[in-house]
Amino acid sequence: MGAGPGDPDLMTVKGLTLLARADVIVYDQLASPELLHQARAGAEIIYVGKKAGAHTLPQGGINELLVDKAKAGFTVVRLKGGDPFVFGRGGEEAEALAAAGVLFEVVPGVTSAVAVPAYAGIPVTHREHTTLVTFVTGHEDPTKPESTIPWDNLGANPGTLVFLMGVKNLAENCRRLVQAGRPPDTPAAVIQSGTLPTQRTLSGTLADMADRAQEAGIQPPAILVVGSVTALRERLAWWEKRPLYGKTAVVTRTREQASALVELLSAAGARCLEVPTLEITPPDDFGPWDKALEHQSDYAWVIFTSANGVAAFFQRLFDKGLDVRALGGAKLAAIGPATAQALREWGLVADLVPARFQAEDLATALLPQIAPGSRVLLARAQAAREVLPEILAQAGVQVDVAPVYQARQPAGIPAEALPFIDSGRIDLLTFASSATVHNFAALVGREKFQELAQNAIVAAIGPITAATLQEYGITPQIQPEDYTIPALATAILDFFAQNER
């Protein structure tokens, strides 16, 4: 199965479907680790990646592993970077499976030979430049007695040449092309980490490309593109022109909730590091919720203050063998649009959503609609601000508080984010609640938190979160007028657009 060139969004639909069904996943270094999140619980995941001079398992061992796992009755996915049949040794592995009598199928992937130039703004063919493109390995089998690349033909080839895996031999490949007849001033480009947030593109000519790449510190994985189409990059470059390109952002929401913000920031070019600061678990005691259920018909309103609360409330309801009909004639209040959307996903429409999305505003909007003496149910986190129940109680409303979940601090920082936090290589810190602020501070330490915030831009979803940051001596530079994730993402983009002109 081809995993594509690096950007996980370039994985095929069929690939994602089969990946989720696999019993065993055997993957390469160039396959995006994010794709492994698609694996089902309990799947065995085996890394067999190769770097220059460092192989976790020789090719023969990989072939044997695939045969053994398949013959043991497992559904095995062999996940390879790019396309498995384009310089991916997929053909060799398929031959080994066929020889062993193992049934297999091939799921093509988006090859880096086409996708990486495209992400750099280089079309490999263009009617005004060339109708011919040739893919060449930039690193031949070192055991061959002599090169099997027809250099003379490539020298006379008027089309685009794409060399894959060619950093080590970059100078030699450029020299041999010139020696074979390609003009030294032929435009060329080297693209490192193509389709990833760290993509770098270096333009030059065959004469100076090797020196330029060495001075720039170009490292594998990288490809070399040769031909006049590389000059089109000046007009067609897009990936590296996105507003947050080159920025590293920390997203501190729960892993389940982070996806929306990560998607928005990633689309704008940011490298997003998910550092979950909350784990959503059941409350210590469901007693108050179960007791409230006995009086469900007495409630005039059921109030939700988070999407997590909505999910936990209805999960508990269904666990008790009930459904939404248990709410009877109670009206529903949601603190904001995200909470209202969570209700819609359960087939319910909120009767009230305040214009501003914090507890004080929800209370102000509710009071004119609740008669004194009425009874309401507040479904919320185990630990939360007491503002809402206090304001309602002062107005004569009977408030039953039912914790339906609790937000705990995770045990540590994910391994992929730790090097960036330790070194301070963070451009943007985002916080969507007070709890994310407190828990992030607990994870990294107060002093490190302040150090990171001093060197990064800090974004808070609203005034309550901003006030919590102030407790640590941190003033956020970004705060949207609407306290929603889309508004937060928009405010971040606006900030960087205005400050980097």
Q: Which residues are catalytic?
A: 28, 50, 165
Number of other CB atoms surrounding residue 50 within 10 Å: 16
For residue 117 the two structure tokens come to 């130039």
Residues in contact with 194: Cβ distance below 8 Å, sequence separation at least 6, in sequence order:
5, 6, 112, 115, 116, 117, 119, 120, 221, 222, 223
DSSP track, 413-472: --TTTHHHHHHT--SEEEESSHHHHHHHHHHH-HHHHHHHHHHSEEEESSHHHHHHHHTT
User: How far apart, in whole angstroms, are the C-alpha atoms of residue 361 and residue 353?
Assistant: 9
Per the listing, tokens 């390609």 go with 182
CB 305 within 8 A of CB 339: yes
Burial class (CB in 10 A: 0-12, 13-18, 19+), 208: middle
Q: CA torsion, points 40, 43, 48, 51, in degrees to nearest 10?
A: 30
- Residue 49 identity (one-letter amino acid): G
> What values do phi and psi take at 164, rounded to 5?
-100, 145
User: How far apart, in whole angstroms, are the C-alpha atoms of residue 88 and residue 462?
Assistant: 49
Maximal CA-CA distance, the chain: 92
CB 244 within 8 A of CB 496: yes
Strand partners, 429: 250, 458
Query: E strands within 48-93?
Result: 50-51, 54-55, 76-79
User: How far apart, in whole angstroms, are the C-alpha atoms of residue 162 and residue 133?
Assistant: 8
> What values do phi and psi take at 275, rounded to 5?
-125, 80
CB 122 within 8 A of CB 233: yes
DSSP track, 240-298: GGSTTTT-EEEE-S-TTTHHHHHHHHHHTTPEEEE----EEE--S--HHHHHHHHTGGG
Pairing of strands 160-164, 222-226: antiparallel
User: How far apart, in whole angstroms, are the C-alpha atoms of residue 501 and residue 497?
Assistant: 6
Of 77, 138, 149, 147, the closest CA to residue 112 belongs to 138
